């Protein structure tokens, strides 16, 4: 099958590489000449484990093509996937301008006969109907279209595994022919098939991400209780998570969620609910708790740091990605800078991206031990594996004071006490 992806971010690029690996001919339409040139050379632009190897393999096999030209890709394709960004507007509503722009552009290149146009971007309910109206208005005479919603559920850092092993493949469409083509395309993937209408498919993605955000914020809410009462949040949540109805997955206290999905999707579904006159206080609380989790860490640093020179480990919003969109680190660093702290930071892959935001305001280092040298305290914001079993005695040796603010609960408080640290984690008794 010949297919096209419009957009080469985490969703578009990863999914395109995998479908090419299955033997399909895949075109990827980009927007920037420089990025398309890099992709053609095998540079995936984004960091995702094993993506570079998969990209190069399918470029060499000539199954994967990157272009700026809609005319090169659209007329050849049986299925066209829209996979462009839907960032939040100032009011939290999803910005759909890129969705509608590419819909107008691709419409005029549709061939005679049927083309399935499937939206992978996360969009509010009703968006695919608007896409359909644009396509019908601008398509050539004789071209037939069928619109579908095929939301993605991949996680950055495990995007390739998640795409190959989804829990479910959601296909929303009213067209039997579109459903058949999409089922055929996805035949090599695992997961339950959920065949539904456009509106349900659109809402499934928002519902899933809002639920995940709820679990994180709920865990942080319980951590607030634990810190006030002396209870241990990890013990509490471990015990609660043993209930099969609840589970422990994603119910992790820390400095809150970030990334390209959860923050914007919670905001978007909140705004959609407001537009529909639905009470969205519950959704607003999810976001408020997320912000409070970051404020609590800042207050601990402000109160207990013995000095103003701070080492930070972890800048990306989660491990195994260089994505810093809505990363808690950005807000926390900004707040610390306003309080007069000097920041020396390290991340395994996100330094380049974070530098674009802070320029010369913080010191970015390429060795995880360098920020520690003579620092007054260490702050941990991302749970990279290399931080979990690091040499704690060496950390103590390098720091000016043995003080750690752990926003991800990486270490055992009893061990930290034994080693002589002052240790402040989330929802657990501080080691003073």
| 32 appears as a binding residue in the annotation | no
| 154 appears as a binding residue in the annotation | yes
| 122 appears as a binding residue in the annotation | yes
| 156 appears as a binding residue in the annotation | yes
| 264 appears as a binding residue in the annotation | yes
| 35 appears as a binding residue in the annotation | yes
HEC assignment per residue over the chain: CEEEEECCCHHHHHHHHHHHHCCCEEEEECCCHHHHHHHHCCCCCCCCCCHHHHHHHHHHCCCEEEECCHHHHHHHCCEEEECCCCCECCCCCECCHHHHHHHHHHHCCCCCEEEEEEECCCCCCCHHHHHHHHHHHHCCCCEEEEEEECCCCCCCCCHHHHHHCCCEEEEECCCHHHHHHHHHHCCCCCCEEEEECHHHHHHHHHHHHHHHHHHHHHHHHHHHHHHHHCCCHHHHHHHHHCCCCCCCCCCCCCCCCCCCCHHHHHHHHHHHHHHCCCCCHHHHHHHHHHHHHHHHHHHHHHHHCCCCEEEEECCCCCCCCCCCCCCHHHHHHHHHHHCCCEEEEECCCCHHHHHHHHCCCCEECCCCCHHHCCCCEEEECCCCHHHHCCCHHHHHHHCCCCEEEECCCCCCHHHHHHHCCEEECCCCCCEC
**Candidate list 17, 119, 226, 261, residue with the active-site label:** 261
* Measured CA angle at 262 (ends 261, 264), to 5 deg: 70
| 429 appears as a binding residue in the annotation | no
| 325 appears as a binding residue in the annotation | yes
Question: Catalytic site residue 261?
Answer: yes
| 253 appears as a binding residue in the annotation | yes
| 86 appears as a binding residue in the annotation | yes
| 75 appears as a binding residue in the annotation | no
| 153 appears as a binding residue in the annotation | yes
| 254 appears as a binding residue in the annotation | yes
| 258 appears as a binding residue in the annotation | yes
Kindly list the distances between the CA atom of residue 391 and the CA atoms of 210, 346, 386, in Å, as whole numbers in the listed order. 37, 16, 10
Binding residues for substrate: 153-156, 205, 250-254, 258, 318
- Would you name the residues annotated as active-site residues? 261
Binding residues: 35, 86, 122, 153-156, 205, 250-254, 258, 264, 318, 325
Binding residues for NAD(+): 35, 86, 122, 156, 264, 325
């Amino acid at each position: 099958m010949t297919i096209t992806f419009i957009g080469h971010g985490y969703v578009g690029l990863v999914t395109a590489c995998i479908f090419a690996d299955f033997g399909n001919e895949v075109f990827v339409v980009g927007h920037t000449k420089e990025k398309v040139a890099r992709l053609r050379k095998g540079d995936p632009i984004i960091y995702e484990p094993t993506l570079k190897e998969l990209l190069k393999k399918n470029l060499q096999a000539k199954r994967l093509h990157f272009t700026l030209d809609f005319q090169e890709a659209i007329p050849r394709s049986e299925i066209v996937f829209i996979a462009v960004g839907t960032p939040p507007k100032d009011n939290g509503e999803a910005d759909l301008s890129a969705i509608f722009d590419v819909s107008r552009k691709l419409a005029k290149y549709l061939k005679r006969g049927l083309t399935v146009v499937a939206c992978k971007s996360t969009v509010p309910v009703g968006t695919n109907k608007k896409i359909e109206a644009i396509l019908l208005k601008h398509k050539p005479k004789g071209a037939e279209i069928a619109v579908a919603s095929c939301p993605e559920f991949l996680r950055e850092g495990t995007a390739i595994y998640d795409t190959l092993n989804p829990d479910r493949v959601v296909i929303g469409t009213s067209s039997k022919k579109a459903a058949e083509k999409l089922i055929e395309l996805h035949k090599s993937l695992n997961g339950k098939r959920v065949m539904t209408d456009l509106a349900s498919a659109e809402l499934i993605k928002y519902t899933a991400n809002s639920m995940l955000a709820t679990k994180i914020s709920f865990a942080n809410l319980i951590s607030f209780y634990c810190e006030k009462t002396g209870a241990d949040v990890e013990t509490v949540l471990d015990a609660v998570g043993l209930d099969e109805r609840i589970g422990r997955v994603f119910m992790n206290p820390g400095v809150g969620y970030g990334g390209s999905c959860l923050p914007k999707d919670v905001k978007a579904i909140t705004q959609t609910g407001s537009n529909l006159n639905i009470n969205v206080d519950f959704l607003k609380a999810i976001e408020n708790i997320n912000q409070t989790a970051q404020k609590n860490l800042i207050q601990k640093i402000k109160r207990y740091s013995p000095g103003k020179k701070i080492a930070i480990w972890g800048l990306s919003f989660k491990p195994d990605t260089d994505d810093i969109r809505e990363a808690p680190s950005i807000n926390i660093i900004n707040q610390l800078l306003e309080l007069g702290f000097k920041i020396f930071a390290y991340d395994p892959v996100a330094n380049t991206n974070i530098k674009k935001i802070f320029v010369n305001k913080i010191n970015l280092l390429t060795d995880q031990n360098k920020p520690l040298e003579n620092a007054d305290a260490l702050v941990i914001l991302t749970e990279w594996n290399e931080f979990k079993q690091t040499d704690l005695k060496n950390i103590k040796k390098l720091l000016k004071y043995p003080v750690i603010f752990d926003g991800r609960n990486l270490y055992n408080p009893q061990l930290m006490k034994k080693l002589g640290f002052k240790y402040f984690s989330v929802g657990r008794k501080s080691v003073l």
